[in-house]
Copies of this chain bind each other. A is one copy, B any other.
Amino acid sequence: MTINSNTADRILDAAQELIQRRGYNAISFNDIAEQVGIKKPSIIHHFPCKAALGRAVIKRYREHLATKLDGVANADDKSAVDAFDVYCTPYTDLGTGSDKICLCGSLAGEFMALPKDMRNEVSIFFESHIKWLENILAQGKKTGEFIFDDPLPMMAQLILDSLQGALIVKRATANTHHLHNVIRTLKAKLNP
């Protein structure tokens, strides 16, 4: 990962981190500006309004993750289990020693208080993850890596829900091994 020297990117970095930590409605332009080392109006020079900044943060987050996931899903030398492990790494990273949760999990928690175009970006995030998971589960079932009876959409939803929920519950209960536990349990369901 390259260091973002570009100011717009540093604003996005700060905004993302603050949303993951505190939520969209609990942060202000001043909070972001302070973290970047500039003043509030300078942020508006780069992003016309708070909602536009919010939208840009989600889009970047979503697309960055998508290229990573699509890469491992289409790689010939990667198994379905490999892909699933890659999928889990951001969750374990967030869940161990950080007080951050998934950006879109945070935003979904205050979904009804979000501008409409931000809601759209969040929805796309979850829907694309469901699709990706269904695809990987189907692959793994074909290769015999995964063995389970549940319909693919149900299993994909259980995985997404429990990982998102785990991050949120973990932060409120401070159990260091929470994410590892949930992922291990999920894996046991995929290959008993």
Which residue of chain B is the closest to A166 with respect to CB atoms? B161
Residues of B within 8 A of A178 (CB): 157
Residues of B within 8 A of A189 (CB): 189
Per-residue CB proximity of A100-128 to B under 8 Å, as 1/0?
A: 01001110111111000001001100110
Residues of B within 8 A of A130 (CB): 173
Per-residue CB proximity of A138-176 to B under 8 Å, as 1/0?
A: 000000000001100111011011111110110111100
- Complex contact A150–B185 (CB within 8 A): yes
Per the bound structure, the CA–CA distance linking A127 and B169 in Å amounts to 9
Per the bound structure, the CA–CA distance linking A149 and B184 in Å amounts to 13
- Complex contact B168–A158 (CB within 8 A): no
Q: Is A40 an interface residue (CB 8 A)?
A: no
Interface residues on A, range: 35 or more
Q: Which of B108, B113, B122, B185 contacts A22 (CB 8 A)?
A: B113
Q: Is A56 an interface residue (CB 8 A)?
A: no
- Complex contact B23–A173 (CB within 8 A): no
Q: A123-B173, A186-B158 are in contact. Are A23 and B113 (CB under 8 A)?
A: yes
Q: Is A33 an interface residue (CB 8 A)?
A: no
- Complex contact B157–A164 (CB within 8 A): no
